Amino acid sequence: TQLLEQSPQFLSIQEGENLTVYCNSSSVFSSLQWYRQEPGEGPVLLVTVVTGGEVKKLKRLTFQFGDARKDSSLHITAAQPGDTGLYLCAGAGHFGNEKLTFGTGTRLTIIP
């Protein structure tokens, strides 16, 4: 059973559109990270959220941590081809096992 479920698994949209991807769990996490991975490379950290209800913005990307710290979302405004990649959420602090647990990933394609 995957601890962190991401949806959708695949998303393909036109440049300029808005989108939201989700990261959900039945478990509480002390913090949650979002990574982006491009083909042939390793994941790169985008943001870490640690407080329930926290919202962080990174240019056109808005990250939110759920009030109960069980879920998170990533919203991209006016998507650009450079946003294409695999987005991974990773949670820390599940049931005393503090190592990061990665979600299943959302593969995003922005069509020019």
Partner 1 sequence: IAGITQAPTSQILAAGRRMTLRCTQDMRHNAMYWYRQDLGLGLRLIHYSNTAGTTGKGEVPDGYSVSRANTDDFPLTLASAVPSQTSVYFCASSAQGAPNTGELFFGEGSRLTVL
Which residues bind to partner 1, rule: CB under 8 A?
2, 4, 6, 9, 30, 33, 35, 40-45, 48, 88, 90, 92-93, 97-105
Q: Which is nearer to partner 1, 45 or 78 (CB)?
A: 45
Q: Which is nearer to partner 1, 43 or 66 (CB)?
A: 43
Q: Which residues contact 69 (CB under 8 A, 6 or more apart)?
A: 28, 29, 30, 32, 52
User: How far, in Å, CA of 92 to CA of 94, rounded?
Assistant: 6
* Residue 8: count of CB within 10 angstroms of its CB: 13
Q: Which is nearer to partner 1, 40 or 112 (CB)?
A: 40
Least distance in angstroms from the C-beta of 14 to partner 1: 25
User: How far, in Å, CA of 41 to CA of 93, rounded?
Assistant: 26
Least distance in angstroms from the C-beta of 74 to partner 1: 15
